[in-house]
Amino acid sequence: MDVSRFEKLSETAWRIAPFGGMRAPAIVYATEDLMTEMDDKVFDQVTNVAKLPGIVRASYAMPDAHWGYGFPIGGVAAFDADEGGVVSAGGVGFDVSCGVRTHLTHLTREQVVSVQQELADALFEHVPAGVGSEGEIALDEQGMNAMLLGGAQWAIERGFGRPEDLDRIEERGCASGADPAAVSEHARKRQRREMGTLGSGNHYLEVQEVAEIFDDEIAAAYGLVKGECVVTIHCGSCGLGHQIGTEYLREMVLSAPNYGIELPDRELACAPIKSELGQKYLGAMRAAINCALANREIIGHLARQVFVRFFAQEDLPLMFDVSHNTCKVERHAIDGETRQLFVHRKGATRAFGPGHDSLPEALRPYGQPVLIGGSMGAGSYVLAGVKTSEPQAFSSACHGAGRRMSRHAATRTWGGRQVVDDLRAQGIIIKSPSLRGVAEEAPGAYKDVRAVVDSAEAAGLARKVAFLKPLICVKG
């Protein structure tokens, strides 16, 4: 991306003044090197988002931004319902509430490595992964409705998880305002046998070593100890969320003229928050959030079942679970006034700073854990939310490294077997039902996660706490 098209605000902040129908400026947070690496469509998409009705303050892109459907991946924007603000299915994305959770262990790297292959095999056999994979849970109509309303609470009530987990999940594991009646029969059908499955694409279950600590106090508060291992799960709302996105995008495109909305891009299909369609989509999207929260809770339970076979005392307490790809109602200070906004984060992470009243008491003094997924080989990060992120981007941060090449280009560059063998030589065991999927997610297909995280910290979006190095990756 050509940085000369931006006004440089700092070493990690770049502004585009409103032009051509933009109702607000656009701001990208990244170093010049990362800006140069971004594709030009990020410029088009972050400025198009700024043209949507009711946008507040600015359209933002995080340091891991890359081209997406409508919004850039790594896009953040907030809308005010009282000022004609919209909710956009393209601004949430197809994998509604795709997110990350990290469980702690008290196991050392040496203990995990002593059973590394057997543990990898057991996790792969016990946690369904891949396109169309099915789990042991079959939902009838009543069970589906209960799951869509209850989220992780529903899973725990049925024995898939522990009550104490809820305190460590965003919104205590259940999005309020879910409307199962707004979820189509087709979406329900796609989900009936998919609970407790990883799905495909960049979803994974990893066993990781805490390889580096950057902030001793916050790491201790989070339960992270250098040399010990954690289990991180990245997945979302599977077929149900994808179907909801597909159906409502189509309906919003057709309905936009009726609401007097001129879409800058069909992929930015949206509806006024206060409209019947806007409210119906919000009800369906919140049901999909609950599906994703239940799904990750079940997979966490399955991981616990495997670990206890190898290490009888390990109970894998949950450190935190946070979603990307959502539209959340939050209160933010705008020009000295606190307003209720609908914050879209697509490929971005909520990152509340210290003292936020929505955080569990044990974490409140330190800020929300922000879990940054890396690629299979490059490693992941745990960050902490900071107060400066609120005025910078509605308390948001990056969510991963961000792709630097398409999946198609990745498969032309690497073979799946080659990636598996290369990573094994580095001490990382990959298990996946699809070698093509492994090639698509090759570490080289992603940006330098260290550069992305350093950018986020320098921009005041979050602060570094720990670096996690993978030992086992079950890839979807």
Residue found under tokens 């076979």: 309
Alpha carbon separation from 341 to 99, 124, 278, 337, 410 (Å, rounded): 21, 41, 14, 12, 38
Give the Cα separation of 438 and 415 in Å (integer): 8
Provide the pairing of β-strand 55-66 with 26-28: parallel
- Catalytic status, residue 242: no
- Of 66, 301, 399, 408, catalytic: 399
Give the Cα separation of 236 and 97 in Å (integer): 6
Per the document, the length of the chain is 476
Residue 232 and residue 210 in contact, taking contact as beta carbons nearer than 8 Å: no
Give the Cα separation of 389 and 393 in Å (integer): 6
Residue positions in the annotated binding site?
95, 202-206, 234, 324-325, 373-376, 380, 399-402, 475
Provide the pairing of β-strand 396-397 with 7-10: unpaired
SS3 219: helix
Alpha carbon separation from 266 to 66, 91, 232, 261, 352 (Å, rounded): 18, 12, 35, 11, 32
> CB neighbours of 84 closer than 8 A, spacing ≥ 6?
53, 54, 272
User: Residue 153: in which H helix or E strand, if any?
Assistant: helix 152-157
> CB neighbours of 194 closer than 8 A, spacing ≥ 6?
133, 134, 135, 238, 239, 240, 295
Q: How many other C-beta atoms can be found within 10 angstroms of the C-beta atom of residue 324?
A: 29
Give the Cα separation of 87 and 1 in Å (integer): 28
Residue found under tokens 């099915």: 134
Q: What is the DSSP letter of 381?
A: E
Pick from 231, 215, 155: which is nearest to 386 by CA? Answer: 215
Residue positions in the annotated binding site for Mn(2+)?
95, 203, 234, 324
SS3 159: coil
AA identity, residue 377: G
Catalytic positions, written as ranges: 399
